[in-house]
């Protein structure tokens, strides 16, 4: 039996002991962050979350909340005035203006916002589920039950159901059931729709969001900009989502600030949460104040964008911000450069704000630090550590393990040689999350958590410095952190940086050395190509000594007195931590760029990773620690000695929790993929492992050549995994036991290389080639292969149909010194012939964010009704959207300061990538002859070592091209070589197939077209008077079809006299009358209009010899010589007959609807007449034909078969959605008494049919 422990280890929930924060606070309780402002650049902060209301000295905890993304923007440029205390919102609701509102100018700016545009996905899912269960499902079940009972009662009363009336009645009852079942399956909760009102009360701008959705503004909250009044609201008790507002451009733009996820609130609470009633759970700096800068875009699932980052930097330039926490980042292709990085550097170097960021969660392989954290000189990157106290309090682990770094914490060095990780801090915490999660707090871990822990700790230091009037700079603070950090036992420097930061030691360091030479100077260290360190990794770099010239230049704080720059001079003594580095012992630096030479001799170093640092100490003050460092990393790879199997093994490797087996291997020249085999020697327990392999390539992000996979190896089990490799390059192989996986396990590790590959690394085939030849070579060993080509995606390139260059908002998008940001907005259109998964890709700018020259490349896709479909930004593979057949518009926005640079993008091509419904497999042949003749296809074969073999690929069959495909399109997929998995998917390469001219029409299609042309040109090949007269007649008919009907009456009468039996003349007149009906509002006028249509239609019907038509279409075969011309004539007459019947039927039905709406029991048009028209139509055409649609649904509605009518309209709505049809559906719902369906459509119509596109 175990004893009860009655004390909970609260100190482990949000760790402060490890960094010395708790000791510092005990010693200096008032230096708890007071006077310090921290900007949290994240998903946004919930001001109602626990611990985020006030500081320890009773100041507002949150100073400002800003949405930098644009996802909360509402266009409020529409200005209206109240009439009788009311205005009409853009939703169509009547909004009652409370008498308590003070609006001196009487002007109201109005807009509309959809709630789900503001909610993160988890909240949308929760609210949608709850609404369905509470509101939709009960009414839906009741309606379905009633419909089933009605059908059962009918079947009981009509067991035979033989008459047409009974059949259509039963069809109507069944249609109601079918529709209700379909609605239930397709139901998607689209969320609330809010009217937004902005006005000026004479002192400031204010905004009101109609969260009542009823126009009752008295019951809603009126807010001013958050920075002015620190007010916020809540949308509803159901969602618990809080919001704040900001108002720009003289009331024309409302910004509703919510949060895109729980991450930002959690981060904010770690840094500065304050719980007066339970101080043990406080954040690190409870006295600090916060600014919430939302950079995670809700439209993108909380992904950061260039727009949001630049706006955040602009905000910080304009306001007093001491610290920035940034728990975000991505893998980048280039270090320490790019538009966003340059602005971050400007904020740090010129504004003096300290930028703290997460190092990344992409370890354990080296060179996995993210951007900006580990790749930007101006940023302090923080790694993530876990301690026994955290394991017990946060993770409830049954055994205490030694302190360690989390397995996934990213490691340095960066690709340009910088160490990457600066310091470490605890990387897990249980802290507050937004109220909409319905949780008070939550466990999260990651460098996202170590960064705010470090940031809060730095806030304590700054609070103490300010209290003691000690001057500091971002450079002096970073130096103090690095020089006082505690080395972490058994944690490599690439993971920990200089070690675990220590608050009190860093504070004392800054106080002690505040007046020392160069204390507030940043020493920039650069090598060749602007590298920030020396990184020797590839085999040619480590076989002989390397000499590097290192440049050092002092960077002073902004507005530093020139005399200080003149007098600046520091004599450095240089040391190094390793003997294999040669360097000068002394170095004198003044205000100039000076260099010294370093020689690195890796010869004799054992295999593995080696790190050295050249440290520069002030010669007269050595105890102060290094003022700058030159990081040096050398990787010595293992060479493969088994040149038969090209394999390497590590047997009997003992894995404890958190242990990393790291091995660097020189991949043999010619290798293209590898197979890793892990075998457990343990008889009792499984092990949880992270496999991570990595190769580094110039100007490519580490993810380009990375393989990462979590695996479980069972007792005495094995796992086999394949991945691609780059030949003649260093591969890092990491096998790491998951840090929290208790127990020791012994593994055998075997890695084998294979080299079967094409002689070209980028196989491309053009359809015009007909047959393409490719050669396979196997440079390492003889291999069994079975090549195949599978195409999975078709790509359509698009050029813009329009573009606009515009100057953006001054308040949000103009940097200091008047640097105005501009945007180019490009418009693209395309048609999707059938449902598919679509990925828009701005290929020229893709996969570039922090390192991009441009600020943003955001796209938004809309359907033909302007409904938002999807959005994306820098990383297209993250934004795959399944869409139905439709017409689509894509708007793309790119931003930059330089307008001329944007002008160059006006013809930028984007790629629309569409996943094929099924992979398209190309035929492969062993010989050209077989490919030409369609002979025996290529099958499994053997490629001897060092030899090459060709194979031939035939073109895509004509019938396999998707509809709409044309020249310039291309297919992408994969060419695989190996015959078995797991190697199969990794043994080949990407394959592209470009489409040439599309195949010619089939014979039947050509013949059909010829017949059509014959019909059109019959008797018109040469000039004839009859032909000319017919052409003039048809031209006049086309004009009399246009409203107003009164204007064309004279021409119509003339045509009737000249062509009394030509039905198109009557149809033209009816078309004009139908078009005119939309402008008639008086019942008497509309009735007269319908009566005239019915009269004209009746005349037209009398002109058709229906018996002759029936006789003709009853024939099986017409053998007459003039059969073609006869058929053309009969088809025309039949179509005229159908058109007239449909138009007469529509007029009859509309006349009845008009009388019913007016309350007239007896209609001028009897229902029997409508039924006769319907029965006559049934003789000539399938009633489900789209041509009959306008009358078919109306006939069903006339005889009160609303189920049938609804089914007909809904089918049409699926194929060609329109607002007009939706309004008819709403009307039928009302007639059926389906209140829940009516309310759903009425509430969400403006979501599906918005008046304008969303703002970027």
Q: The CATH number of the domain where 1118 resides is what?
A: 1.25.40.710
* Whether 1030 contacts 1017, CB under 8 Å: no
Question: Which of residues 1199, 1217, 1251 is at a domain's end?
Answer: 1199
Measured distance CA(566)–CA(564) in Å, rounded: 5
In a domain, 1210, yes or no: no
Closest CA to 259 of 37, 14, 48, 36: 48
Assign 146 to helix, strand or coil. helix
Residues in a beta bridge with 863: 888
In a domain, 12, yes or no: no
- My answer on whether 279 and 425 are in the same domain is yes
In a domain, 1223, yes or no: no
- Identify the residue whose tokens are 């080949």: 988
Catalytic residue among 32, 42, 873, 1169: 42
DSSP 1031: H
Catalytic residue among 64, 71, 75, 263: 263
In a domain, 115, yes or no: yes
Q: Which residues have C-beta within 8 Å of that of residue 1056, sequence separation ≥ 6?
A: 1065, 1066
How do 62-67 and 289-294 pair as beta strands?
parallel
* Whether 554 contacts 520, CB under 8 Å: no
CATH number at residue 786: 2.60.40
Give the max Cα distance, the chain: 117
- My answer on whether 1043 and 896 are in the same domain is no
Both tokens assigned to 1221: 């049809």
Strands (E), 124-204: 193-200
- Identify the residue whose tokens are 């980052």: 309
Helix axes 1063-1077, 1083-1102, angle to 10 degrees: 170
Clarify whether 158 is annotated catalytic: no
- My answer on whether 1034 and 1183 are in the same domain is yes
The number of distinct structural domains making up the chain is 7
Residues of the chain with pLDDT below 70 are 1-6, 1000-1021, 1161-1163
pLDDT of residue 998: 79
- My answer on whether 808 and 726 are in the same domain is no
In a domain, 837, yes or no: yes
Closest CA to 1200 of 147, 169, 178: 169
CATH number at residue 442: 3.40.50.200
- My answer on whether 112 and 178 are in the same domain is yes
- My answer on whether 393 and 450 are in the same domain is yes
What b/e readout covers 508-542, taking b as 16+ CB neighbours within 10 angstroms? bbbeebbeebbbbbbbbbbbeeebbbbbbbbbebb
Measured distance CA(448)–CA(298) in Å, rounded: 19
Clarify whether 448 is annotated catalytic: yes
Cα-trace Rg, the chain: 37
CA 581 vs CA 417, 478, 601, 631, 634: distances in Å: 15, 25, 6, 11, 11
In a domain, 186, yes or no: yes
- My answer on whether 279 and 236 are in the same domain is no
Both tokens assigned to 93: 């609701």
pLDDT of residue 1002: 56
* Whether 976 contacts 988, CB under 8 Å: yes
Assign 287 to helix, strand or coil. coil
Catalytic residue among 410, 448, 672, 1163: 448
- Identify the residue whose tokens are 């949880």: 688
Q: Which residues have C-beta within 8 Å of that of residue 749, sequence separation ≥ 6?
A: 649, 650, 651, 653, 661, 676, 677, 678, 733, 735
CA 800 vs CA 104, 230, 953: distances in Å: 45, 44, 34
pLDDT of residue 1019: 44
Q: Which residues have C-beta within 8 Å of that of residue 62, sequence separation ≥ 6?
A: 45, 47, 52, 226, 230, 289, 290, 291, 292
Question: Which of residues 872, 904, 936 is at a domain's end?
Answer: 904
* Whether 661 contacts 734, CB under 8 Å: yes
CA 1227 vs CA 172, 178, 498, 1209: distances in Å: 17, 18, 71, 12
- My answer on whether 27 and 143 are in the same domain is no
In a domain, 1238, yes or no: no
In a domain, 1213, yes or no: no
How do 94-96 and 822-832 pair as beta strands?
unpaired
Both tokens assigned to 670: 């010619």
∠ CA 1119-1123-1125, nearest 5°, is 175
Measured distance CA(571)–CA(554) in Å, rounded: 13
Measured distance CA(550)–CA(527) in Å, rounded: 5
Clarify whether 415 is annotated catalytic: no
DSSP 32: S
Q: How many CB atoms lie within 10 A of CB 1011?
A: 13
Q: How many residues does the chain have?
A: 1256
Both tokens assigned to 989: 């390469």
Residues in a beta bridge with 774: 951
Measured distance CA(422)–CA(149) in Å, rounded: 72
pLDDT of residue 981: 86
What b/e readout covers 941-966, taking b as 16+ CB neighbours within 10 angstroms? eebeeeeebebbbbbbeeeebbeebe
> pTM for the whole thing?
0.92
- My answer on whether 250 and 288 are in the same domain is no
- My answer on whether 598 and 487 are in the same domain is no
Measured distance CA(1088)–CA(824) in Å, rounded: 53
- My answer on whether 458 and 338 are in the same domain is yes
Q: How far is CA 1210 from the centre of its chain?
A: 31
Domain that holds residue 482: 17-66+260-513
How do 868-872 and 941-943 pair as beta strands?
unpaired
- My answer on whether 207 and 167 are in the same domain is yes
pLDDT of residue 1083: 81
Question: Which of residues 223, 240, 257 is at a domain's end?
Answer: 257
């Amino acid at each position: 039996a175990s004893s009860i422990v009655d004390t909970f280890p609260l100190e482990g929930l949000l760790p402060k002991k490890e960094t010395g924060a708790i000791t510092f606070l005990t010693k200096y309780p008032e230096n708890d962050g007071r006077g310090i402002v921290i900007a949290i650049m994240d998903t946004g902060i919930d001001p109602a979350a626990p611990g985020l209301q006030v500081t320890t000295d009773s100041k507002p905890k949150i100073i400002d909340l800003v949405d930098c993304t644009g996802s909360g923007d509402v266009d409020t440029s529409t200005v209206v005035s109240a009439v009788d205390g009311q205005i009409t919102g853009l939703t169509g609701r009547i909004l009652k203006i409370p008498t308590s509102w003070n609006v001196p100018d009487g002007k109201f700016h109005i807009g509309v916002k959809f709630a789900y545009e503001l909610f993160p996905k988890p909240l949308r899912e929760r609210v949608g589920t709850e609404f369905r269960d509470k509101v939709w499902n009960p009414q839906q079940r009741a309606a379905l039950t009633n419909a089933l009972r009605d059908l059962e009662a009918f079947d009981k009363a009509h067991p035979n159901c033989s008459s047409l009336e009974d059949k259509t009645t039963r069809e109507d009852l069944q249609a109601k059931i079918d529709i209700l079942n379909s609605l239930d399956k397709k139901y998607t909760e689209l969320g609330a729709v809010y009217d937004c009102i902005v006005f000026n009360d004479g002192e400031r701008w204010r905004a009101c969001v109609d969260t009542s959705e009823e126009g009752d503004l008295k019951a809603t909250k009126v807010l001013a900009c958050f920075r002015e009044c620190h007010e916020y609201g809540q949308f509803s008790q159901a969602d618990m989502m809080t919001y704040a507002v900001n108002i720009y451009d003289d009331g024309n733009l409302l910004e509703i600030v919510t949060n895109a996820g729980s991450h930002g609130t959690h981060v904010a609470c770690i840094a500065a949460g304050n719980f007066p009633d339970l101080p043990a759970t406080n954040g690190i700096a409870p006295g600090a104040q916060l600014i919430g800068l939302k950079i995670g875009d809700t439209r993108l699932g909380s992904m950061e964008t260039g727009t949001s980052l630049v706006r955040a930097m602009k905000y910080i330039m304009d306001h007093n911000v001491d610290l920035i926490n940034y728990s975000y980042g991505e893998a980048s292709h280039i270090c320490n450069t790019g538009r966003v990085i340059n602005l971050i550097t400007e904020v740090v170097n010129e504004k003096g704000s300290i930028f703290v960021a997460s190092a990344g969660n992409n370890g354990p392989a080296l060179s996995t630090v993210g951007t900006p954290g580990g790749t930007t000189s101006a940023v302090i990157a923080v790694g993530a550590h876990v301690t026994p106290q955290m394991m017990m309090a946060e993770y409830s682990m049954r055994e205490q393990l030694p302190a360690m770094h989390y397995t996934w914490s990213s490691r340095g060095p960066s690709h340009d040689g910088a160490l990457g990780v600066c310091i470490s801090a605890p990387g897990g915490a249980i802290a507050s999350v937004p109220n909409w999660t319905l949780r008070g707090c939550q466990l999260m871990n990651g460098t996202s958590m170590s960064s705010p822990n470090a940031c809060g700790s730095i806030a304590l230091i700054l609070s103490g410095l300010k209290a003691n009037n000690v001057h500091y700079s971002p450079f002096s603070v970073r130096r103090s952190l690095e020089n006082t950090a505690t080395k972490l036992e058994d944690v490599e420097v690439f993971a920990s940086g200089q070690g675990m930061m220590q608050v009190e030691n860093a504070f004392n360091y800054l106080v002690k050395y505040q007046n020392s030479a160069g204390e507030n100077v940043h020493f920039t260290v650069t090598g060749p190509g602007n590298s920030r360190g020396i990184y020797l990794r590839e085999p040619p770099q480590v076989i002989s000594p390397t000499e590097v010239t290192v440049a050092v230049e002092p960077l002073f704080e902004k507005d530093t007195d020139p005399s200080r720059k003149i007098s600046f001079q520091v004599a450095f003594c240089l040391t190094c931590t390793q003997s294999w580095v040669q360097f000068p012992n002394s170095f004198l630096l003044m205000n100039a760029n000076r260099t010294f030479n370093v020689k690195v001799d890796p010869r004799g170093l054992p295999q593995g990773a080696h790190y050295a640092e050249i440290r520069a100490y002030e010669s007269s003050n050595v105890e102060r620690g290094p003022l700058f460092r030159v990081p040096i990393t050398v990787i010595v790879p293992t060479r493969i000695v088994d040149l038969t199997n090209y394999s390497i093994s590590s047997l009997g490797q003992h894995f404890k929790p958190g242990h990393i087996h790291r091995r660097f291997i020189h991949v043999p020249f010619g290798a293209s993929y590898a197979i890793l085999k892990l075998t457990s020697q343990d008889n009792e327990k499984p092990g949880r492992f992270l496999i991570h392999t990595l190769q580094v390539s110039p100007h490519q992000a580490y993810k380009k050549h990375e393989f990462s996979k979590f695996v479980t190896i069972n007792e005495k089990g094995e796992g086999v995994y394949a991945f691609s490799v780059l030949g003649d390059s260093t591969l890092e192989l990491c096998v790491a036991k998951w840090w929290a996986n208790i127990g020791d396990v012994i593994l055998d590790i075997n890695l084998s290389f294979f080299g079967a590959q094409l002689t070209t690394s980028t196989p491309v085939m053009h359809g015009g080639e007909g047959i393409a030849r490719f050669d396979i070579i196997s440079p390492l060993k003889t291999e069994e292969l079975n090549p195949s080509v599978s195409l999975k995606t078709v790509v359509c390139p698009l050029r813009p149909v329009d573009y606009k260059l515009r100057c953006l908002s001054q308040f949000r998008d103009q940097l200091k010194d008047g640097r105005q940001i501009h945007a180019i907005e490009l418009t693209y259109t395309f048609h999707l012939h059938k449902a598919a998964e679509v990925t828009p890709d701005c290929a020229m700018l893709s996969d570039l964010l922090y390192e991009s020259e441009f600020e943003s490349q955001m796209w938004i896709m809309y359907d033909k009704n302007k409904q938002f479909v999807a959005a994306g930004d820098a990383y297209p593979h993250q934004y795959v959207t399944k869409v139905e057949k439709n017409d689509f518009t894509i708007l793309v926005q790119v931003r930059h300061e330089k307008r001329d640079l944007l002008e160059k993008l006006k013809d930028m091509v984007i790629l629309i990538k569409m996943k094929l419904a099924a992979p398209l497999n190309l035929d492969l042949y062993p010989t050209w002859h077989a490919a030409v003749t369609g002979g025996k296809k290529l099958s499994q074969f053997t490629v001897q070592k060092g030899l090459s073999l060709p194979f031939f690929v035939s073109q895509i069959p004509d019938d396999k091209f998707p509809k709409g495909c044309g020249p310039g399109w291309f297919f992408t997929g994969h060419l695989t070589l190996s015959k078995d998995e797991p190697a199969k998917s990794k043994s080949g390469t990407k394959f592209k197939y470009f489409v040439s001219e599309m195949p010619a029409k089939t014979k039947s299609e050509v013949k059909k077209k010829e017949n059509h042309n014959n019909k059109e040109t019959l008797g018109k090949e040469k000039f004839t008077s009859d032909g000319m007269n017919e052409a003039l007649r048809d031209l006049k008919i086309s004009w009399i079809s246009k409203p107003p009907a009164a204007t064309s009456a004279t021409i119509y009468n003339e045509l009737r006299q000249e062509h009394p039996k030509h039905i198109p003349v009557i149809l033209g007149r009816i078309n004009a009358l139908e078009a005119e009906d939309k402008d008639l509002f008086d019942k008497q006028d509309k009735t007269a209009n319908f009566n005239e249509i019915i009269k004209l239609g009746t005349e037209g019907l009398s002109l058709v010899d229906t018996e002759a038509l029936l006789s003709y279409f009853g024939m099986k075969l017409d053998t007459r010589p003039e059969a073609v011309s006869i058929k053309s004539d009969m088809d025309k007459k039949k179509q005229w007959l159908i058109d007239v019947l449909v138009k007469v039927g529509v007029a009859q039905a509309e006349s009845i609807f008009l009388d019913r709406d007016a309350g007239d029991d007896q209609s001028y048009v009897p229902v029997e007449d409508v039924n006769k028209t319907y029965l006559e139509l049934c003789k000539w055409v399938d009633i489900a034909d789209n041509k009959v649609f306008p009358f078919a649904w109306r006939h069903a509605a006339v005889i009160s078969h609303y189920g049938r009518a609804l089914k007909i309209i809904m089918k049409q709505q699926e194929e060609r959605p329109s607002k007009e049809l939706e309004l008819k559906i709403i009307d039928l719902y009302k007639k059926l008494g389906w209140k829940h369906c009516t309310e759903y459509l009425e509430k969400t119509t403006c979501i599906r049919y918005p008046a304008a596109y969303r703002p970027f």
